A and B are shown apart, each in its own frame.
Chain A
Amino acid sequence: MLRQALMGAAAIAAFALPATAETVAVTHARILTAGPAGEIAQGTLVLRDGKIVAAGANVAVPAGARVIDAAGGVVTPGFFATDSVLGAQEVGSLGSDLRVSNPALGAAMDVQYGLNPASTLIPVARLGGLTSAIVMPHASGGGGEADEGDEMTSGGVPDADPSHALFAGQAAVVTLGQGPDILAKAKVAMVVPFGQAGAKIAGGARGAEFVAFKAALQDVRDYARNKAGYDKGESRALSLSKADLEALIPVVQGRMPIIAEVHRAADILAVLKLAKDENLKVILNGAEEGWMVAADIAKAGVPVLVYPLSDRSVSFEQLGSTLDNAGRLAAAGVVVAIESDDGGHRARETRYDAGNAVSHGMAYAAALAAVTINPAKIFGVADRTGSIEPGKDADVVIWTGDPFEPLSQASAIFVRGVQQPMTSRQLELRDRYKDLNRALPPAYSH
């Protein structure tokens, strides 16, 4: 019944895109708002003109609304793929639009210019309930030991081309709906590898990176104070290109956060101190040993991006990794966002990662926040998305059950109010080969 209703709805949406003008009411839903309304055990959600109009137990279905009976299913805000490559990578081994090894350009690198809305990864991710992504640059050659391991089982070689740039570039928020423009917000943060990866870039030692980093910030401040002098050649020699200096002005002014990729407890404390000394806004990424210094992170008011399944001693800077990390950080009061393993092909695992965090001590509501409102807040888009609240974008997913469970499936997905087709290149392949006894070769089925 529900299935038929949804399939019908999907068919209508497919013919009528964009359908932003319509009013949709989702009824008989358990609504997990990730917002101030918390959980609505049984309620109705109304979407109109791409926005959420109302959500609650006693919300009336507006006249003329298209009704989707969720029939006891669960409704959530669309999830975030944090630390993602969506829209910037198609086939892993063919590279991405996220990595540069250009000595003259690091901080200025801006992922917004490389986004590909036609990537086949986006529908696959979307079917996993993801409606937004934080696309982040990657430090070139800065992967540390972990990358080497992954590569070596397939006979690959570690990336031997370290960037000369301490700054990997600027992240963007993207929206994962169909359409020609997926950029939601550019220049949301600046990626900076610390720990082993940062040390490698700086010439081999953590001590070098911190000194070089501080010197670079000083250069930016000097440049910002006297751009005219710089342009006339009256400045002392600066360590960064003009483009990089410009890109870093919002960082030294505390308007743009840095995403500090850091793992070891001691390195986390060092980054927190650096941020304090330099008046930087900082987001920690990785932080496998974060639980050991959770109180310090919470006290600094610094949010953390965590892959909750990191529990192995992958390198000497994450010997203390544990599956309890996300839960312990959240319990200590840290704002946590959950990220997936690769952020691209497997980004759809984000909901399972959240479920695993729950089974290892994270409160369910905290895990839900970690894939919705928290990344929205951390990256400055909480005014538009990340929770089910009137006035926000209608980024909403209807699930057959608990969204963290593999046996639950998304049954309808709205991005900015537009109901998305429940298809992907993968499902087209599946359906082409489901029946191998057709008269004509599979190539004729599409």
Chain B
Amino acid sequence: MRVWRTAAAILAVAAIGGCATTGSPAKPAPSAQASKDKAAPPKPLAKGLDPAASANPFPSTYKPLPSQPTAIVGASAFTGTGELVENATVLIKDGKVEQVTAGLAAPAGYVTVDAHGKWVTPGLIDAHSHLGVYASPEVWANSDGNELTDPVTPQVWAEHSVWPQDPQFDTARIGGVTTILVLPGSGNLIGGRGVVLRNVPSRTVQGMKFPDAPYVLKMACGENPKRVYGSKGRAPSTRMGNVAGYRAAWINAADYQRRWEDYRAKIGRGEKADPPKRDLALDTLVGVLKGEILVENHCYRADEMAQMIDISKEFGYHITAFHHAVEAYKIADLLAANGTCVATWANWWGGKMEMYDGIEANAALVDAAKGGCAIIKSDDPDLIQRLNQEAAEALAAGRAAGLTISEAQAIKWITANPAKALGISAQAGSLEPGKRADVVIWDHDPFSIYARTERVYVDGAIAYDRHDTRYQPRSDFDLGQPGEGVR
């Protein structure tokens, strides 16, 4: 506690000094002016009033499970870099991938795992989930993902709704998912912050938070916001109302950013200045404008995505990924040129008008565009258990469309590409030396319907083992229930 307070104080001072961490463009004031007004040094702001001083008020306490140096020997390994290494030896040490090399003998001091005849992939990453915020059982009491009291709620954070005992984390882990982006729902234009979680059992959500992963902002186009608020007799009730809502929010954010920058510039010059009142909603939006918070934009239709890109240019932010995006194939070129990923399904379509043109080959066509970034995600507690199958369906549809796509490429749709969309590429998503050793051992080719996970490593530690009950965690909720959580 004491350590934290000190750290916060240091941050506060640094921020007031107009330090680079705030991204402030304020120029140093002429020294004459500064010395003239320098009567009394400005008091630091009261705790909690300075956004820069409390940029991370709910820090990760994640600690990897216990691990040993491990050599997984003999498997066909999809590395997540576009390659398939046959007869691979995957070396894991200190929770990190050491190397993936064909035919390497297990070094002394490593636990050897015989994986001949099996397959290995990076831990799967789900770029779109509501686990924990829409926990199971799906009752009103567990429905915490949509703050439907205002269409613009960037002040809410999904992590404050996540119930770590949601049994769905366990079933997702059995499916090989080691990292999850938990997002607020899509009822709002701006739904709040999402959080990247390590899929490990934990008493607290802080104990699951992916260290150093950026925050993300959930935005939503189309039918949901206009339906939710239109039915309440308030804006937005149309798509043009939606767009007006986003733009108004960004104007507020830019204005708020300017007020803080002015304030910091004045303080930096030693002038007297009244700080703006901290606003949690605008803090989040300013984080986006500064490029610190990634935008994850629920948007189905091609024409709406094109408009969202224009809005992002108007206000100077970047859309990291469109989600659902069942019409991405209609503008695959535009999305690739904008460097925006597409997180979609293979099989989901037609649930509403904006999903009517969804096609199985969507991901493959996005992938085929030069610079395209395709992601298969779940948005669903069932599908998250079988992301590999959805990727296989998308791959098959791409091949049926005449595209040449290797399995080694398609595995990126559920590993490396979602890592990119979550801003954690340096740490996860592929089996490259130095990355977190999130590794799944499969009993069949993961593109087969018969593939099941044998073992799931998170940071080099066994988080799940199909054949060893010691590594089959169950949530508190499942204890003493019918079936005892045996899924």
* A residues whose Cβ falls under 8 Å from a Cβ of B: 90-94, 121, 145-146, 148-150, 152-156, 265, 289, 292, 309, 311-316, 319-323, 341, 344-346, 348-349, 352, 355-356, 358-359, 404-409, 426-427, 429-431, 433-434, 436, 442
Residues of B within 8 A of A430 (CB): 329, 359, 361, 365, 401
Inter-subunit contact B482/A92 (CB<8 Å): no
Q: Smallest CB–CB gap between B237 and chain A, Å?
A: 14
Inter-subunit contact B482/A289 (CB<8 Å): yes
Interface segment, B12-20, B23-31, B183-191, B425-433?
B183-191
Residues of A within 8 A of B420 (CB): none
Interface residues of B in 431-487 (CB under 8 A from A): 447-452, 477-478, 481-483, 486-487
Residues of B within 8 A of A152 (CB): 134, 138, 143, 145-146, 185
Inter-subunit contact B351/A92 (CB<8 Å): yes
> Which A residue's beta carbon lies closest to that of B231?
A157
Inter-subunit contact B143/A314 (CB<8 Å): no
- A427 vs B359: C-alpha distance in the bound complex, in angstroms? 7
Q: Smallest CB–CB gap between A439 and chain B, Å?
A: 15
Give 28 pairs: A residue, B residue, CB < 8 Å, sorted on A: A91-B353, A93-B353, A152-B146, A155-B187, A155-B224, A155-B225, A156-B228, A292-B483, A311-B385, A312-B168, A312-B171, A313-B477, A314-B136, A314-B137, A321-B483, A345-B349, A345-B350, A346-B347, A349-B347, A355-B450, A406-B396, A406-B447, A426-B349, A426-B359, A427-B359, A430-B365, A433-B332, A434-B365
Inter-subunit contact A92/B350 (CB<8 Å): yes
B50 close to A (CB within 8 Å): no
Inter-subunit contact A320/B347 (CB<8 Å): no
> Which A residue's beta carbon lies closest to that of B448?
A405
Inter-subunit contact A406/B393 (CB<8 Å): yes
- A10 vs B194: C-alpha distance in the bound complex, in angstroms? 49
Inter-subunit contact B143/A148 (CB<8 Å): yes
B227 close to A (CB within 8 Å): yes
Inter-subunit contact A155/B146 (CB<8 Å): yes
Inter-subunit contact A319/B482 (CB<8 Å): yes
Q: List 15 other contacts, CB 8 Å, given A121-B350, A352-B393, A426-B349.
A: A149-B138, A152-B185, A153-B145, A309-B385, A311-B385, A314-B136, A320-B483, A322-B486, A345-B347, A345-B350, A358-B450, A359-B452, A405-B449, A406-B389, A442-B330
Inter-subunit contact A155/B227 (CB<8 Å): yes
B51 close to A (CB within 8 Å): no
Inter-subunit contact B483/A153 (CB<8 Å): no
Residues of B within 8 A of A322 (CB): 483, 486-487
Inter-subunit contact A348/B130 (CB<8 Å): no
> Which A residue's beta carbon lies closest to that of B478?
A313
Across the A-B interface, the 6 shortest Cβ-Cβ residue pairs: A155-B187, A149-B138, A355-B449, A320-B483, A320-B482, A93-B352
- A292 vs B481: C-alpha distance in the bound complex, in angstroms? 13
Inter-subunit contact A311/B449 (CB<8 Å): no
Residues of A within 8 A of B315 (CB): none
Residues of A within 8 A of B401 (CB): 430-431, 434
> Which B residue's beta carbon lies closest to that of A428?
B359
B197 close to A (CB within 8 Å): no
Q: Smallest CB–CB gap between B342 and chain A, Å?
A: 14
Inter-subunit contact B357/A429 (CB<8 Å): yes
Given A155-B228, A313-B477, A405-B448, also A341-B359 (CB < 8 A): no
> Which B residue's beta carbon lies closest to that of A426?
B359
Chain B residues touching A, majority SS:
loop
- A312 vs B381: C-alpha distance in the bound complex, in angstroms? 8
* Residue among A145, A152, A320 with the highest chain B CB neighbour number at 10 A: A152
**Chain B: how many interface residues by the 8 Å CB criterion?**
70
Q: Smallest CB–CB gap between A226 and chain B, Å?
A: 46
Given A153-B130, A155-B187, A430-B359, also A436-B224 (CB < 8 A): no
Interface residues of B in 295-326 (CB under 8 A from A): none
Inter-subunit contact A315/B482 (CB<8 Å): no
Q: Smallest CB–CB gap between A319 and chain B, Å?
A: 5
Question: CB within 8 A of A153: which of B136, B186, B359?
Answer: B186
Interface residues of B in 165-188 (CB under 8 A from A): 167-168, 171, 185-188
Residues of B within 8 A of A344 (CB): 350
- A148 vs B487: C-alpha distance in the bound complex, in angstroms? 22
Question: CB within 8 A of B148: which of A155, A321, A341, A346?
Answer: A155
Residues of B within 8 A of A426 (CB): 349, 358-360
- A219 vs B146: C-alpha distance in the bound complex, in angstroms? 46
B356 close to A (CB within 8 Å): yes
Residues of B within 8 A of A121 (CB): 350
Inter-subunit contact B481/A313 (CB<8 Å): yes
> Which B residue's beta carbon lies closest to that of A356?
B449
Given A91-B350, A153-B130, A153-B185, also A265-B393 (CB < 8 A): no
Residues of B within 8 A of A149 (CB): 134, 136, 138, 143
Inter-subunit contact A93/B487 (CB<8 Å): no
B4 close to A (CB within 8 Å): no
- A323 vs B386: C-alpha distance in the bound complex, in angstroms? 12
> Which A residue's beta carbon lies closest to that of B390?
A406
Residues of A within 8 A of B381 (CB): 312
B416 close to A (CB within 8 Å): no
- A149 vs B166: C-alpha distance in the bound complex, in angstroms? 14
Given A145-B137, A145-B139, A348-B347, also A433-B400 (CB < 8 A): no
Q: Smallest CB–CB gap between B403 and chain A, Å?
A: 9
Residues of A within 8 A of B361 (CB): 430
Inter-subunit contact B352/A407 (CB<8 Å): no
Q: Smallest CB–CB gap between A129 and chain B, Å?
A: 13
> Which B residue's beta carbon lies closest to that of A310?
B382
Q: Smallest CB–CB gap between B170 and chain A, Å?
A: 10
* Residue among A313, A320, A427 with the highest chain B CB neighbour number at 10 A: A313
- A93 vs B449: C-alpha distance in the bound complex, in angstroms? 30
Q: Smallest CB–CB gap between B21 and chain A, Å?
A: 35
- A322 vs B136: C-alpha distance in the bound complex, in angstroms? 14
Q: Smallest CB–CB gap between B451 and chain A, Å?
A: 8
Inter-subunit contact B482/A265 (CB<8 Å): yes
* Residue among B137, B143, B146, B448 with the highest chain A CB neighbour number at 10 A: B137
Inter-subunit contact B134/A341 (CB<8 Å): no
- A114 vs B168: C-alpha distance in the bound complex, in angstroms? 38
Inter-subunit contact B143/A407 (CB<8 Å): no
- A319 vs B186: C-alpha distance in the bound complex, in angstroms? 28
Q: Smallest CB–CB gap between A199 and chain B, Å?
A: 15
Inter-subunit contact A145/B450 (CB<8 Å): no
- A345 vs B350: C-alpha distance in the bound complex, in angstroms? 6
B124 close to A (CB within 8 Å): no
Question: CB within 8 A of A407: which of B185, B332, B356, B447?
Answer: B447
Interface residues of B in 325-354 (CB under 8 A from A): 329-333, 347-353
Q: Smallest CB–CB gap between A321 and chain B, Å?
A: 7
> Which A residue's beta carbon lies closest to that of B444?
A359
Given A148-B140, A313-B481, also A352-B389 (CB < 8 A): yes
